[in-house]
């Protein structure tokens, strides 16, 4: 994994309201938070996939070594989708890695799920 700076040039970051509009226009949503985070609540949209960028381990979070392979099994290189996480950090790095392997229409959701909730946007609570 490279530095964050090496990814920023090819990444388009959108705010949560723009992300909501893009989701309504047909974009899919890739939630890169852990499965545990996802189950506690996530962006309410029809086309949503949870593929963790990192996993919880006894030593803290560790990178999902199969992340790019798992995303490539779900999305084509020319699919339109938004990458989101909890606060915006993981999604920016994940989006950068995806762009680096040839994904063309990836957008990062700035502020992550925290900003989504803070703006009163719709949330799905699967465990409720």
Any idea which residues carry the catalytic annotation? 85
> How far is 67 from 51, CA to CA, in rounded Å?
7
Cα 76 to Cα 7, 37, 93, 115, distances in angstroms: 20, 25, 19, 28
Nearest to 83 by CA among 7, 11, 6: 11
DSSP 90-116: HHHHHHHHHHHTT--EEEEETTHHHHH
């Amino acid at each position: 994994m490279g530095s964050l700076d090496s990814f920023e040039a090819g990444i388009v970051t959108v705010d949560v309201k723009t992300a909501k509009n893009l989701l309504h226009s047909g974009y899919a949503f890739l939630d890169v938070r852990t499965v545990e985070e996802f189950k506690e609540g996530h962006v309410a949209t029809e086309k949503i996939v949870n593929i963790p960028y990192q996993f919880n381990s006894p030593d803290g979070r560790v990178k999902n070594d199969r992340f790019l392979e798992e995303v490539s099994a779900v999305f084509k290189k020319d699919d339109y989708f938004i990458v989101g996480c909890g606060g915006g950090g993981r999604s920016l790095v994940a989006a950068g890695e995806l762009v680096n392997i040839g994904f063309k229409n990836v957008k990062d959701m700035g502020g992550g799920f925290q900003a989504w909730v803070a703006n009163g946007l719709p949330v799905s609570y699967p465990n409720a």
